[in-house]
Amino acid sequence: MKVVPVKLTKVEGNGHEHEYEPQHGLPEKLPPGETVLWQGSPHWPTMARRVFHVRKLAVYFVALIAWKVFTEWRSGANALEILQSVGWTGALSAAALGTIVGLAWLTARTAVYTLTDKRVVMRIGIVLTMTFNLPYRQITRADLRLDSGRAASGTGDIALSLANGTRIPYLQLWPHARPWQVRQPQPMLRNLENAGEVARLLGTAWSAATGVSVTAAAGPASPVSAPATNPSPGTSADGLAGAH
């Protein structure tokens, strides 16, 4: 199956710390004959919402402030006293939310995912940058999960299962790792815009590199197959498995 190069996605995050990369998002220039098919970064608002749970934290802080206002009012405090009482709580809550949002932005900004016709490359890390090269022959399965809800807009995650003997520590990957898969960590391309299109491109490239045809199957109990393409929102589709 022929792999056709596509237009690169605009990648945010060309910070000073990466301006001297031989090739953007890659630790070295690609060897002759290898082609970049796609590059992208996590969608940071989605990362803030789904990875760092900013909305849940905001609800918690609002409830905390409301409870403090209620208890002060019950004790007979006037409006000025209530405002002074909750001022510090509100300021600290705003600072905490701002810190979490900033962390989500930095995490997405410094991450670059690259698909070539030979491998998947993940450049991640805010302070300590790490690059993981994942040849397609070391990838045995891909799970695509599309986000649900009106705010999703086609965003989703692609988790990669690696062959036996290939293991990356979970803490080195996080948050670019499938949640709760600690014993056998799975690298994850997180919060991608147009995740379905990226999954289809991954499946085509994997099939071309391995010589195994792509099979899409829905549900966590499906057999190993090639990267999945069209799962329904909120569910996972399993890919990369036996030859057909």
Q: Quick one: pLDDT at residue 118?
A: 95
Q: Quick one: pLDDT at residue 127?
A: 87
CA dist., res. 131 & res. 116, Å (int)? 14
Q: For residue 200, is pLDDT > 60?
A: yes
pLDDT digits (tens, 9 = 90+) for 95-135: 999 999 999 999 999 999 999 999 999 999 998 899 999 99
132: CB partners within 8 A, 6+ apart:
121, 122, 124, 168, 173, 187
Q: What is the mean pLDDT of residues 158-184?
A: 92
Instruction: Spell out the domain ranges in the chain.
Output: 48-107, 132-238
Q: For residue 59, is pLDDT > 80?
A: yes
pLDDT band of 53, cuts 50, 70, 90: very high
Q: Quick one: pLDDT at residue 166?
A: 84
pLDDT digits (tens, 9 = 90+) for 26-42: 888 899 999 999 999 99
Residue 57 in tokens: 């934290």
